[in-house]
Structure 1
């Protein structure tokens, strides 16, 4: 009898976890809730610390929802890769802002008010990353050409692809022109 009751309760808990995952996925607008399994595993291991489990799942949900809000509103488009890295490191830290209406409104008011400064800082970040080893990389003015190092990566089989950091640098360079042209 105890065995059957235990199995029944376990299966109900599984259904509750599946429902929780589905709801959090809908809230985040994502197709995968990276870190959910870790939260569940840690919660089972540390059943004597339910407040820690709640904090972990809350942080996970808040991070995903902030990411969705930043993507859906287009705020990421104004940020350089450095600024996005800064924002993401804040989300991954213990100081991740909780998702509340007041926090969301305050954050987006601030981001919207400082949109031009964010845009300008993105341009400055791009030019700071340029190597001064080349005469064409003038940080004081836009020239006809610039030289970006480590844009491509050569695989051992001879295939050449865009390097991840090179792609970010290229995106950072192209973004201002797209935004200024209204694309």
Structure 2
């Protein structure tokens, strides 16, 4: 004689088995920082989960280069403080004023005094319009204490990226469309971290 299980009992058994299944906790979504939201508002293609809670300018620079291919780069400015063996602290300020796409550098050579003021560094070997090779020959004789540069990357799609960096990290990124439609500016602020703003027309 067959044993029949009432439908109500069978339903209760199925319900109990369903409740007995281990619950899988859903991982909460990380909140977006205000700066990351500004990045996405201007440039959705730069989306990267590593930037969600804190915008790292090094990672962001790599994403910009991946999305917008660089056609050519120009060093626009460089400021170097270097200490000679004599103990003197020297400062070089290099400015680039390109003519017809060709770099043309002018240099200011200064001596930094202990109180922070600077005076002209007079030396016959120093050139007012040096090549980068000339510059490297001079600063290679000392120990670099500060080195900040401003570089323009011209992209294939009518976009220009200006980056400011020191020896170790990026300090500022400025991504601008030539038609003026969008401008993304990200800056490293002391005690505040990275602040990004988006401007649209």
More strand by share: 2
More helix by share: 1
Q: TM-score surpassing 0.5?
A: no
Instruction: With the length of structure 1 as denominator, give the TM-score of the two structures.
Output: 0.27
Bigger radius of gyration among the two: 2
